Amino acid sequence: MLNYFILLAGIFIISFGFFILISSHKKLLNITFFLVSLMIGSWILSNFLFQINPTVILLKTIFFISILSTLSLYLWAYFLDGKENISIKFSLFMALLLCSSLFVGGAIFKDGLVVVSLNSPSDVVLGQYFLSYVIYMVLLILGFLSYLIKIYLTVDIERKMKVRFVLIGITLFLIMASTFSLILPTFGFDKLAILDSPSAIVFLIFSSFAVLKYKMFNIQTVATVFLTVVLWGVLLVKVIIDSGKESFNLDIVVLILGFVLGVILIRSVLSEIRRREQLQVLSKQLGEANLHLKDLDKMKTEFVSLASHELLTPVSAIEGYLSMMLDEKLVKLEDPKAVQYMDRVYRSAKRLARLISDMLNISRIEEGRLLVEKKDINMVEVIQQVIEELKFKADEHKQKVVFEDPKASFMTFADPDKVKEILVNIIGNSIKYTLQPGTITVTIEKAPTSVLNSEWGKLEQAILASPVDDQESIHAVGDEHMKQIVGDEQYLIRVKDQGVGIPKEELTKLFKKFHRVGNYSTQESQGTGLGLYITRALVELHHGRIWPDSEGEGKGSTFTFSLPTLESKQAIVDLEAQSPQDKEQLKPLAKPMGDDDTL
Ligand code: ADP
């Protein structure tokens, strides 16, 4: 029984070394580890053979292999600190060791043992060179231990861990082997003496930690290797038992097949683990890059916010003083050219102030710092107020803004200033982008949420299908709670004009930052391309959506936006309570000073 245990131990050690070899067959550390396991495995197997068929030559071979096994340990340990090739100094040292080992080995073969009887392995009498063999082996092992300690003291912390495993492994092995073959027999218990060589398993398993990465030792790999090795062992034992029988050839074929399939299985498990490892590394790198990008983005927004804030005050002052200088009641400017130039400067200052305040608003929205104070409001009243405010501009552009009073109240839960801003932007654009005299029609209706989903859904799909670059923030607001659509019904407010219209391919791009349709009519009018971006963000902060529609150039445009009905008030309050907004940081919309005639 114990004999077969030794046989299995030998097979296990060689297969284990082979597993380490195929896990990374190019690394010298793995190759030399395989050499070590091959030597130790052969040593154990020759012990097994000796138990079955004790011959003098086998016994001498065992002593010889034990010398070579120790030599292979030196070679392996050399690569423990990550070296990729072998130095001349070390090659010379190894050559010297090999010569002396061959010499001692030869002496053992010549006269290491004098055999009285080989009926039992214990009936062996030692020859004259045996003592020199023992001394040589002790020196070799001590030399190896001091070599390991030297490596331990010089390597970095990560490798120190690995060398520690090897040291623990070899100490355990020496303790176990001497217990089985020396200590126990002195107390008269020598039945386990033959287990001294299989104890090397402990050393090899510990040492393999130094070769493989810790991640390799998961249940999946260990189970696969264990089962495969057991299978190989069983097949090999069957071959040995059946030798001479008829089924021997078949056994050999099955053994070879089992071996090949086992190797394939282990390799596939290993490559799977390696792939998983690579994936982990990649996703970690991706996560880090993403964090870095987020940091950069935050820094950029903070910078824009700070710069805009600092710029707005002096620009507004310039704009204010220019406006006073152009006021004939306050200042008399004699030269009409001066008035003309001053007027141009004034207009530019106003545009600049508009741009800066837009950028400030965008950074507030993106950082979630825009103050939105919602209350119960009647949309009909708000629309009427905005139309009244824009009347002068509309008249200037020969536009008539029509809103038929629906004779019902359309109550919603919203911030009146923000809703006004939305309407001013949309109706303002309709005025701005209509070159001929015309009518702008504003309507409000109550519709099931499904209408919103299908109308807005079309644009959303189209944006998602466009190139990544054009998909830039399909939604302006990042916080899911703030922009979620609520309720079964929505108010749909539509602003329809008879203006320049929008080409179909532009409809998906209108809400991008700084995007302006590049046709003649828009080039003629002043603008920043930020208005619709801000408008969309404001609509989304009210759980609404906004989308454009146009039959094409010259065919007018319709902008529709949705707002929830008052029935959804509680849902809105609940959702916003979940939003991680920093209430301390909230700021109102920034507005440039004076009248804005950039429409
Ligand atoms: P700005 O008006 O400052 O250019 P906006 O973001 O408000 O920026 O609008 C973006 C672009 O959308 C405009 O430049 C214009 O080309 C187009 N646009 C917006 N509203 C209309 C409209 N009612 N009719 C035609 N084109 C429009």
DSSP string covering 448-485:
EHHHHHHHHHHHHHHHHHS-GGGGTTSSS---HHHH--
User: pLDDT value at position 429?
Assistant: 94
pLDDT digits (tens, 9 = 90+) for 204-252: 877 877 777 655 556 677 677 777 877 887 787 777 777 777 888 888 8
Residue ID of nearest Cα to ligand 1 atom 13: 516
Query: What average pLDDT score do residues 328-344 get?
Result: 87
For residues 68 and 106, the answer to whether their CB atoms sit within 8 Å is: no
Q: pLDDT confidence of 583, banded at 50, 70, 90?
A: low
| Residue-level pLDDT at 588 | 80
| Residue 557 Cα to ligand 1 middle (Å) | 10
Name which residue sits closest to atom 21 of ligand 1, judged by CA.
429
Going by pLDDT thresholds of 50, 70 and 90, the confidence category of residue 387 is very high
Write down the mean pLDDT value for the chain. 85
H or E segment and range at residue 491: strand 489-496
Nearest to 181, CA basis, from 97, 102, 66, 74:
66
**Ligand 1 centroid, distance to 373 Cα (angstroms):** 27
Q: What confidence score (pLDDT) does residue 298 get?
A: 84
pLDDT range class, residue 532, cuts 50, 70, 90: very high
Look-up of token digits 């309570």: 577
pLDDT-derived band at 313, boundaries 50, 70, 90: confident
pLDDT at 111 over 80: no
- Averaged over 68-90, what is the pLDDT? 87
Q: Which atom of ligand 1 is nearest to the CA of 532?
A: 6
Q: Are 19 and 59 in contact (CB under 8 A)?
A: no
Rounded distance from Cα 474 to ligand 1 centre (Å): 17
pLDDT band at 524 (very low <50, low <70, confident <90, very high): low
Please report the atom of ligand 1 found closest to the CA of residue 500.
25
Give distance in angstroms: CA of 353 to centre of ligand 1.
19
pLDDT at residue 499 in the model: 92
Q: What pLDDT was estimated at residue 373?
A: 92
Of all atoms in ligand 1, which is nearest to the CA of residue 517? 16
Q: Using the mean position of ligand 1's atoms as its centre, give its distance from the Cα of residue 208 in Å.
A: 69
User: Which of 107-121, 232-246, 371-385 has the lowest average pLDDT?
Assistant: 107-121
For 98, the 3-state DSSP assignment is: helix
Q: Is 510 in the pocket of ligand 1 (CB under 6 A)?
A: yes
For ligand 1, whether the C-beta of 427 sits within 6 Å is: no
From the CA of 533, give the closest atom in ligand 1.
6
The mean pLDDT value for 548-564 works out to 94
Lowest mean pLDDT among 8-22, 173-187, 292-306: 173-187
79 touches ligand 1 (CB under 6 Å) = no
> Which atom of ligand 1 lies nearest, measured to the CA of 497?
23
Q: Whose CA is nearest to atom 23 of ligand 1?
A: 430
pLDDT at residue number 505: 87
Each residue's pLDDT tens digit, 391-412: 999 999 999 999 988 888 899 9
As a whole number of angstroms, the distance between CA 130 and CA 123 comes to: 15
Q: DSSP letter for 509, please.
A: T
**Mutation to probe ligand 1, out of 434, 510, 515, 557 (largest number of atoms < 8 A from CB):** 510
**Could you tell me if 551 and 475 are in contact, meaning their C-beta atoms sit under 8 angstroms apart?**
no
Quick one: tokens of 479?
């916080």
| Mean per-residue pLDDT, 539-561 | 94
Whose Cα sits closest to atom 2 in ligand 1? 527
Distance from the alpha carbon of residue 429 to the mean position of ligand 1, in angstroms: 6
- pTM beyond 0.85: no
486: CA distance to ligand 1 center in Å?
28
Q: What is the Å distance from ligand 1's center to 517 Cα?
A: 7
Lowest mean pLDDT among 492-506, 513-527, 568-582: 513-527
Amino acid at 201: I
Ligand 1 proximity of 517 Cβ (cutoff 6 Å): yes
Spatial separation of the C-alpha atoms in residues 534 and 528, rounded to whole Å: 11
**Share of residues in the chain with pLDDT > 70 (%):** 90
pLDDT at 378: 96
Three-state DSSP state, 182: helix
Please tell me the distance between residue 591's alpha carbon and the centre of ligand 1 in angstroms: 19
Ligand 1 pocket, residue 133 CB under 6 Å:
no
Q: Is the pLDDT of residue 153 over 70?
A: yes
521 lines ligand 1 (CB under 6 A): no
Residue 112, pLDDT above cutoff 70: no
Q: Report pLDDT digits (tens) over 42-65.
A: 998 998 888 888 788 888 888 889
Ligand 1 binding pocket includes 529 (Cβ within 6 Å)? yes
The Cα 480–Cα 63 span in angstroms is: 75
How many residues in the chain? 599
- The pLDDT of residue 139 is above 80: yes
- Cβ-count burial 127-142 (b if 16+ within 10 Å, e if not): bebbeebeebbeebee
598 lines ligand 1 (CB under 6 A): no
* Angle at 19 (CA atoms; ends 16, 20), nearest 5 degrees: 90
Q: Quick one: average pLDDT of 101-116?
A: 77
The structure tokens listed for 34 are: 């395989």
Lowest mean pLDDT among 78-82, 121-125, 195-199, 524-528: 121-125
Whole-number pLDDT of residue 124: 62
Mean pLDDT of 68-96: 88
Q: Is the pLDDT of residue 374 over 90?
A: yes
pLDDT score at 312: 85
Res 555: pLDDT: 92
Q: Which atom of ligand 1 is nearest to the CA of 556?
A: 24
Mean pLDDT of 298-326: 87
What does the pLDDT read at residue 438? 93
Tell me the backbone φ, ψ of residue 241, rounded to 5 degrees: -65, -40
pLDDT at 206: 79
Q: Is 430 in the pocket of ligand 1 (CB under 6 A)?
A: yes
Which residue out of 358, 433, 523 has the highest number of ligand 1 atoms within 8 Å of its CB and is therefore the one to mutate? 433
Q: Answer whether 517's CB lies under 8 Å from 506's CB.
A: yes
Nearest one of 527, 538, 462, 525 to 493, comparing CA atoms:
538
